[in-house]
Structures are given as C-alpha cells and as structure tokens.
Amino acid sequence: MKAKYTRSQAQIIQVLKSLNYAISAQNLYAELKDRDQPLGLATVYRALEAFKTQGTVKARILTSGEALYSLISHDHHHINCVSCGQSFVINECPVHDLEERLEQTHHFQIYYHTLEFFGRCPQCQDNQVQ
Ligand SMILES: [Zn+2]
Ligand SMILES: [Zn+2]
C-alpha cells in the first residue's frame, strides 16, 4: 500500500515504528514533544483517525477505556487484569489462519483483528481481600 503522508503524519508514523508497544494519543503527543517535533494534540488525534481508516494503525481499548495505538504490523494480544489494570503480552496468535480464511470466503481485505483476555493476575489473586 502506498499511502502519501503529510509531514505531521510521517512524524507520527516514525514514532510508532520506533516503539514496540502501543501508545495512547496523550503519550504520543508527549513523545513527539520530547523528540523536539511537537504537534498539536488535535493533529495527533486527526492523524490517528486517518491511519485507522487507511489500515495503518489499530486501536486497542484498555479496561480504563483509554485507547492505545500501534502499527498494524504488530500482531500482539494481551491478557488484562481487571483488578490492577496490568496487561501481559501473549506471544502467539491463534486466529491468524482464520483471518486468511475469512479474506477468501468474504472477499474482504482484512486490516487487523483484536483478541483480548480478561481476568485476575497472580498478584491480585494473592491479594484477594475476602
Ligand atoms: Zn492484577
Ligand atoms: Zn492476532
């Protein structure tokens, strides 16, 4: 896919590429500032929205409701603790084949999928106050 980026969009892509984790719009804004490439928060949000429809970036919603953004090429899934809010990366994707199959059967160009697990982490199980 050959997407043409504006200068601010290119800056954002650069930051997302350099990180190997998903980042919130607020932190992305702070990160750009740290790198002496400040952009307005509204610009950051606008760019992320554009990337989502282009299939460049995906959003992951935390239990807190906050959205974290990352490049679509990062196919990582997580187990989330509903007590402390910590997330742990799962290093496997069980639906990769399904995705390819769906592209065939539904003639869809699938950008990405989400798969989240929720529960209680070991520490929170130990700290149960009951
Ligand atoms: Zn926990
Ligand atoms: Zn996956």
Q: Which segments of the chain belong to CATH 1.10.10.10?
A: 1-73
Check pLDDT > 80 for residue 35.
yes
Residues 6 or more apart in contact with residue 60 via CB below 8 angstroms: 22, 67, 68, 69, 70, 78, 114, 116
Class of domain 74-130: alpha beta
- Quick one: which H or E segment has residue 60? strand 57-61
Check pLDDT > 70 for residue 111.
yes
Distance 60 CA to ligand 1 centre (A): 19
Class of domain 1-73: mainly alpha
What pLDDT sits at residue 26?
96
* pLDDT per residue as tens digits for the range 22-33: 999 999 999 999
Residues with CB under 5 A from ligand 2 (ion): 75, 93
Contact 29, 10 (CB under 8 A): no
Indicate which ligand has the atom closest to the C-alpha of 115: 2
* pLDDT per residue as tens digits for the range 49-108: 999 999 999 998 888 889 999 998 778 899 999 999 998 989 889 898 999 999 999 999
Q: Which segments of the chain belong to CATH 3.30.1490.190?
A: 74-130
Pairing of strands 57-61, 67-71: antiparallel
